[in-house]
Chain A
Amino acid sequence: MKKNLIKTGCLAIGLCLGAFQAQALDGAVVIANSSVAADSLSADALKDILTGKTKYWDGGQAVIITILPDKTDAALQQACGMDTSAFKTFWQRLAFSGRGQEPKKAADAAELVQIVATTKGAIAIVPADAALTGVKKLEIK
């Protein structure tokens, strides 16, 4: 009985931690185009995508990063360790040396969701209260 209580307690703590980690980004969630096979990403995998180390999804589709300047800065910083300015400079360095494609930019959350919905391989960090239509939400573990 005592062992069962401990197991149950551990499970509950684990579930709480899991829930906490799944919403690890401040006020934001990660979305992707429906062509993306993955339903979840580890925090490290998300960071590798945002820092250009992973440029293709498992099936070979190019990762198309889309950002919403000024609206998701804290979450971007949390996800890749760079603020918006550093992120922009980082990708300009890759793009202007022929080693990557600059992230697309959206003017507002609705446009961001629209771009992700219509662009194969697209991924984005979007405010948690945005209406998500035609995209899939990726769990961040």
Chain B
Amino acid sequence: MKNSKRTHSAILALTATIMAAGGAQAYELKLGTNMPPIDIHGFASQGFLASTKYNYLANNTKDGSFKFSEAAVNVSMNPFPRTHIAAQGFLFDVGNVGQYYPALDYASIDYTFCDQFGVRAGRIRRPEGIYNAIQDVDLARTSILLPQGMYDARYRDFSGSIDGGSLFGNVNMSKAGSFSYEAYLGNVNLTDDGGIARLLQDDFGKAPTQYKGVEGFTEGGVQLWWNTPIDGLRAGFAMYDALGFGYKYNVNIPPNLGGGLYHAQLDSPTEHYSLEYTVKNWTFQTEYKHNGYESYTVHNGVSTGGVVHSAADVWYAGAAYRFNKWFETGVYYTEDYANVDDRDGSKTGKGSDAYQKDLALSLRFDPKPWWVIKAEVHYIRGTALLDDNLDNPSRNGDGWFMLAMKTTVSF
């Protein structure tokens, strides 16, 4: 906790220093006449979250919470012909997740044989949809919170990066525009202090169950983009499968009643569709994502009920308008469903936990090229994403509000 406070103070100090210096340029580290320089960039964000009825994202937002911070430093260079190296260190805090623990966001090397074909290896930001690879980058969007059913700020350890490799390229199709692709395969390493472990700890942290650990998994997928002949219009399709994501929990009842250690495993084939159109000062976006789940649980070496199939989905549509170089506004509406066969929660008795619908209105102000200030209001119905069960003991489907504010400085 002391370390968290120190790191939070360090982020605030970094933010203040950049602001006091009147902004900072990207830093270029020269390595001598025969070597290309190293480019160094970074950003630091501090946010505030407040909500009217439930605690959401941070665990005390009903009282207002500043536990909403991010900072990153990245380096990149082209040391040899057609070769690019990039790495980014990142830390964040959203409620109880992140805790300012520094993590290697990505560290990869790529070689581009030609525009149509290249290879990348290392820790790679996983391409999925418009925002997955850049969901940490507040600078690169109008809103503060992305549609959380699709890009949940708490589960970045699950969705952000893989350790492995990818093939990528861009194929020009003349009058039909161009087509880009990135296909990847690798491992996702999870820890007990990550966001997905926190979710499971809440789910299995109540008597008589007890959370006992989370396991990494293998993930393979592809992101395709068709850059249409219409300037600014692109359509995307991604699919991936998270294979063998597992977790363990203990059921603290006598063994003869079914107590003991349970091992659950999950495969998650997913499809993700995207459409983005940037025209003049407008940006229009819509995405749809469908998560399939094939889960099974083993107890004492025996499957407890075969493979269980289920599915969740989420969509959003939004628009942003830039008035001038200082002001931008945006709006989006999103719906998230935990089970596509029970959208209103009536079949499973989940009630408002079956869905979450969110209307968000954002205002972005760029007082300087290196400084962004944002404010955002959400009107939310449903509670499907209030995964922090312990923070929200009772829920219903009534609407509630959330206010988010954030400032980011970059260099």
Give chain A's interface residues, CB within 8 Å of chain B: 44, 48, 53-56, 59-62, 69, 81-86, 88-89, 92-93, 95-102, 104-105, 120
CB distance from B106 to the nearest CB of A (A): 5
CB distance from A41 to the nearest CB of B (A): 14
Which one of B71-79, B199-207, B241-249 contacts A?
B71-79
Asked if B25 CB lies within 8 Å of chain A CBs, one says yes
CB-defined interface of B134-166 with A at 8 Å, one 1/0 digit per residue? Answer: 101101110000000000000000000000000
The answer to whether B41 touches A98, judged by C-beta atoms less than 8 angstroms apart, is no
The answer to whether A102 touches B82, judged by C-beta atoms less than 8 angstroms apart, is no
The answer to whether B78 touches A96, judged by C-beta atoms less than 8 angstroms apart, is no
Chain B contacts for A101, CB-based, 8 A? 39, 76, 78, 84
Determine which of A55, A81, A98 lies in contact with B88 in the assembled complex, contact meaning CB atoms within 8 Å.
A98
Asked if B209 CB lies within 8 Å of chain A CBs, one says no
Interface residues of B in 82-134 (CB under 8 A from A): 82, 84, 86-88, 106, 108, 112, 115, 124-125, 127, 133-134
The answer to whether B281 touches A102, judged by C-beta atoms less than 8 angstroms apart, is no
The answer to whether B41 touches A95, judged by C-beta atoms less than 8 angstroms apart, is yes
Asked if B231 CB lies within 8 Å of chain A CBs, one says yes
A-B pairs, top 8 by smallest CB distance, nearest first, are A60-B81, A62-B78, A81-B231, A98-B86, A97-B133, A96-B137, A97-B125, A53-B170
Determine which of A83, A86, A96 lies in contact with B134 in the assembled complex, contact meaning CB atoms within 8 Å.
A96
Provide the bound-state CA to CA distance between A87 and B25, in Å: 18
- Of listed A69, A82, A83, A97, residue having the most chain B CB within 10 A: A97
**Chain A binding site: helix, strand, loop or mixed by DSSP?**
loop
Provide the bound-state CA to CA distance between A82 and B282, in Å: 11
Chain A contacts for B127, CB-based, 8 A? 97
Known: A83-B281, A93-B134. A98 touches B125 (CB 8 A): yes
Provide the bound-state CA to CA distance between A97 and B84, in Å: 13
Interface residues of B in 191-248 (CB under 8 A from A): 231-232
CB distance from B122 to the nearest CB of A (A): 9
CB distance from A132 to the nearest CB of B (A): 23
Chain A contacts for B325, CB-based, 8 A? 84-85
The answer to whether A53 touches B180, judged by C-beta atoms less than 8 angstroms apart, is yes
Provide the bound-state CA to CA distance between A80 and B136, in Å: 26
Asked if B304 CB lies within 8 Å of chain A CBs, one says no
The answer to whether B137 touches A92, judged by C-beta atoms less than 8 angstroms apart, is yes
Provide the bound-state CA to CA distance between A69 and B82, in Å: 28
Determine which of A54, A62, A89, A99 lies in contact with B36 in the assembled complex, contact meaning CB atoms within 8 Å.
A62
Provide the bound-state CA to CA distance between A78 and B226, in Å: 21
Closest to B72 in A: A96
- Of listed B78, B124, B278, residue having the most chain A CB within 10 A: B78
CB distance from A38 to the nearest CB of B (A): 15
Asked if B10 CB lies within 8 Å of chain A CBs, one says no
Known: A53-B178, A56-B82. A69 touches B41 (CB 8 A): no
Provide the bound-state CA to CA distance between A95 and B140, in Å: 11
Closest to B42 in A: A96
| Extra A-B contacts (19), CB below 8 Å, given A88-B369, A98-B86 | A44-B172, A54-B115, A55-B112, A62-B36, A81-B231, A83-B322, A85-B325, A85-B328, A86-B283, A89-B140, A92-B137, A93-B137, A96-B74, A97-B125, A97-B133, A97-B134, A98-B108, A99-B86, A104-B26
CB distance from A48 to the nearest CB of B (A): 7
Provide the bound-state CA to CA distance between A44 and B86, in Å: 28
Chain A contacts for B281, CB-based, 8 A? 83
- A-B contacts, 25 listed (Cβ < 8 Å): A48-B172, A53-B172, A53-B178, A55-B115, A56-B81, A59-B81, A81-B232, A86-B283, A92-B137, A92-B139, A93-B140, A95-B74, A95-B76, A96-B72, A97-B125, A97-B127, A97-B133, A98-B86, A98-B106, A98-B108, A99-B86, A99-B125, A101-B39, A101-B84, A120-B36
The answer to whether B322 touches A85, judged by C-beta atoms less than 8 angstroms apart, is yes
The answer to whether A48 touches B115, judged by C-beta atoms less than 8 angstroms apart, is yes
The answer to whether A98 touches B74, judged by C-beta atoms less than 8 angstroms apart, is yes
- Of listed B86, B172, B178, B283, residue having the most chain A CB within 10 A: B86
